[in-house]
């Protein structure tokens, strides 16, 4: 019987989903969270490890001689040293495309929050006016039928540049086009591989000419912190930056500085370079930041798809034809 250990199961399944599908493969032990000093003691007898964020490098693989398969419970796998896994005979399989619409929808929601200020206005309506001792709200004290103190922005005719033309980036474009935005893509794909209404442009042009730039590329050693002071210095003043990809794609201090001086008018993100962030993280105290706590992927439907795809990855590995192998 195979020994299967899930080291950080809580985010995927806090209790609203079932692990039953794994029972046919062996014995599953789940830990809601695993700090680094407990990785080996919990996984030393594991044939298969399931994880999302637990780090595995050469030191860990050396101490896990039974390990043959890691099922990454996500699309990203930068928590795993793939070369070390390969050297120790460990296959690593990820879960692609499980949250395409969920993350694209979240990116759209962040962008629309900047444009429509729904959160701001709902808070305003529910908060009594500063000079009113009654329960009257900001709207109730208005002399007009409407009351607004921040501009409402339409996306029609505005260039929205999508950096990375994968499943999520292309899905976001599908959501933007009906709003008559001018969608552009920063991608290695040729123009003739892009759909009608999407223009291929370069990275610098995207930052220099767009109303908003939305990041949808994986984090790699070559693009870490590519959104930095140098790139932002040449961006259009007032640019809106959206990031539902990886926090490490940006330089936190440089983005915070660009927000402070108005180079960026807003930074909308579901991801940070450190998760959860330290209290002194520069973006927590920067102006015009819209941060959600890495929840874009977490709809129940998307989380169930993760389990379903991991089960298929497991079965394919046992059949000798592994799928979604990343190493």
Active site residues: 246, 275, 294
Strand partners, 28: 4
Cα 40 versus chain centre, distance? 28
- In the three-class reduction of DSSP (H, G, I as helix; E, B as strand; rest coil), residue 169 is classed as helix
Is residue 261 within 8 A of residue 273, CB to CB? The reply is no
Paired strand residues for 227: 250
Instruction: Evaluate whether 31 touches 42 at the Cβ level (below 8 Å).
Output: yes
CA distance linking residue 266 with residue 262, whole number of Å: 9
Q: In whole angstroms, give the CA distance from residue 108 to residue 105.
A: 5
Helix/strand/coil for 43? helix
Distance between CA 244 and CA 11 in Å, rounded?
A: 17
- Name residues whose C-beta falls within 8 Å of residue 17's C-beta, 6 or more positions apart in sequence: 300, 303, 304, 307
């Amino acid at each position: 019987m195979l020994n299967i250990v899930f080291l950080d199961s809580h985010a995927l399944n806090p209790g609203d989903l079932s692990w039953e599908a794994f029972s046919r493969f062996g014995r599953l032990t789940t830990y809601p969270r695993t700090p680094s000093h407990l990785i080996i003691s919990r996984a030393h007898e594991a044939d298969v490890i399931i994880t999302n964020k637990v780090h595995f490098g050469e030191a860990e693989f050396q101490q896990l001689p039974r390990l043959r398969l890691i099922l990454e419970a996500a699309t990203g796998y930068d928590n795993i040293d793939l070369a070390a896994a390969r050297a120790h005979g460990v296959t690593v399989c990820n879960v692609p495309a499980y949250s395409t619409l969920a993350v694209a929808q979240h990116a759209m929601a962040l962008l629309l929050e900047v444009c429509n200020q729904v959160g701001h206005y709902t808070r305003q309506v529910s908060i009594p006016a500063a000079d009113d001792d009654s329960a009257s709200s900001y709207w109730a004290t208005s002399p007009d039928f409407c009351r607004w103190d921040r501009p409402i922005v339409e996306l029609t005719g505005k260039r929205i540049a999508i950096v990375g033309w994968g499943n999520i980036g292309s899905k976001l474009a599908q959501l933007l086009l009906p709003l008559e935005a001018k969608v552009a893509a920063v991608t290695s794909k040729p123009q003739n591989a892009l759909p009608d209404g999407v223009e291929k442009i370069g990275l610098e042009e995207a930052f220099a000419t767009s109303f908003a730039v939305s990041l949808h590329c994986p984090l790699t050693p070559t693009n870490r912190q590519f959104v930095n002071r140098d790139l932002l210095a040449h961006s259009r003043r007032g640019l809106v930056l959206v990031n539902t990809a990886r926090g490490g794609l940006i330089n936190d201090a440089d983005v915070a500085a660009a927000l402070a001086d108005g180079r960026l008018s807003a930074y909308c993100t579901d991801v940070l370079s450190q998760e959860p962030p330290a209290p002194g993280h520069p973006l927590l105290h920067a102006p015009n930041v819209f941060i959600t706590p890495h929840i874009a992927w977490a709809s129940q439907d998307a989380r169930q798809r993760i389990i379903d795809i991991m089960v298929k990855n497991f079965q394919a590995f046992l059949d000798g034809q592994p799928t979604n192998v990343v190493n």
